[in-house]
């Protein structure tokens, strides 16, 4: 009995907002768990016929999309209609945000007919959009109706590269200080074009610089360990 009381108390502590002393709703708890997995993304959560933003994501959406944001239970919240989702996703991505779309995995009809009709809808991340990955029929044409201007959605389709690179300085013959072998791969998701190269570079990283400036990638994926010279070069280019 004592153990049961302790377990109940632990559950209450987990569900308690210590700042306001109020209990998180099941949807808020679901959002908290999803946000732990995608901390750097603005999450759009499907709730019936609209998508909702919570917490700091709601404040970002309100600022960038010029929509209303208000306090609901424990979180600031804002919402957009489902049919306008991809218009707003494009706007958020254009402002430099990574956007995650979280959809309901059950329909209301199926849930009503099932045994768990009183439980929370199951949801999961179905898409994660950035400047280089904002492509596909979802973004261009899906869920459009008469209230959406096609040109508003279809214009300015990204036509830029996603670039990743790696380094290896081991067993390099005649190696001077700072010399390294660099491998790069650039992908243009809108066309499927792939460019790859492997080359030897000096401490000045002039070869790497010429390739990055030529490709003009909108995103660069870097390895966990990068040489100081390469890091300085990429930082200087991206800061411009």
pLDDT tens figures, 71-82: 998 999 999 999
Let me know whether 169 and 114 are in one domain.
no
Please give the average per-residue pLDDT across 101-108, as a whole number. Answer: 84
Q: What is the pTM of this model?
A: 0.69
Pairwise CA distance, residues 34 & 17, whole Å: 17
Given this model, what pLDDT does residue 168 score? 85
Question: Domain range spanning residue 73?
Answer: 26-141
Scored b (16 or more CB within 10 A) or e, 108-130 reads eeebeeeeeeeeebebeeebebb
pLDDT of residue 154 exceeding 50: no
Parallel, antiparallel or unpaired: strands 219-221 and 162-168:
parallel
Given this model, what pLDDT does residue 115 score? 64
Let me know whether 30 and 137 are in one domain.
yes
User: Between these two residues, 159 and 184, which has the higher pLDDT value?
Assistant: 184
Residues belonging to the chain: 240
**pLDDT tens per residue across span 180-208:** 899 999 998 878 889 999 999 988 999 99
Let me know whether 111 and 182 are in one domain.
no
Which CATH number is 125's domain given? 3.40.1170.10
| 6 falls within a domain | no
Given this model, what pLDDT does residue 225 score? 86
| 18 falls within a domain | no
Q: Which two tokens stand for residue 19?
A: 């700042």
Let me know whether 30 and 128 are in one domain.
yes
């Amino acid at each position: 009995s004592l153990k049961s009381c302790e377990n109940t108390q632990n559950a209450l502590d987990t569900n308690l907002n210590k700042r306001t002393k109020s209990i998180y709703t099941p949807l808020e708890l679901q959002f908290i768990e999803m946000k732990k997995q995608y901390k750097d993304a603005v999450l759009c959560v499907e709730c019936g016929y609209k998508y909702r933003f919570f917490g700091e994501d709601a404040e970002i959406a309100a600022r960038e999309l010029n929509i209303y944001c208000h306090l609901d239970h424990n979180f600031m919240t804002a919402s957009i209609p489902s049919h306008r989702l991809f218009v707003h996703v494009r706007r958020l991505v254009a402002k430099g945000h990574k956007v995650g779309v979280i959809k309901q995995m059950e329909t209301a009809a199926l849930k009503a007919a099932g045994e768990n009709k009183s439980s929370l809808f199951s949801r999961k991340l179905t898409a994660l959009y950035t400047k280089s990955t904002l492509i596909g029929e979802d973004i261009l044409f899906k869920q459009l109706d008469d209230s959406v201007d096609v040109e508003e959605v279809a214009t300015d389709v990204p036509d830029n590269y996603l670039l990743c690179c790696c380094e290896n300085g081991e067993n390099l013959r005649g190696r001077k200080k700072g010399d390294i072998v660099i491998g790069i791969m650039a992908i243009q998701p809108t066309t499927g074009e792939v460019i790859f190269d492997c080359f030897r570079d000096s401490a000045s990283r002039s070869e790497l610089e010429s390739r990055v400036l030529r490709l003009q990638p909108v995103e660069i994926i870097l390895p966990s360990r990068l040489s100081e010279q390469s890091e300085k070069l990429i930082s200087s280019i991206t800061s411009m």
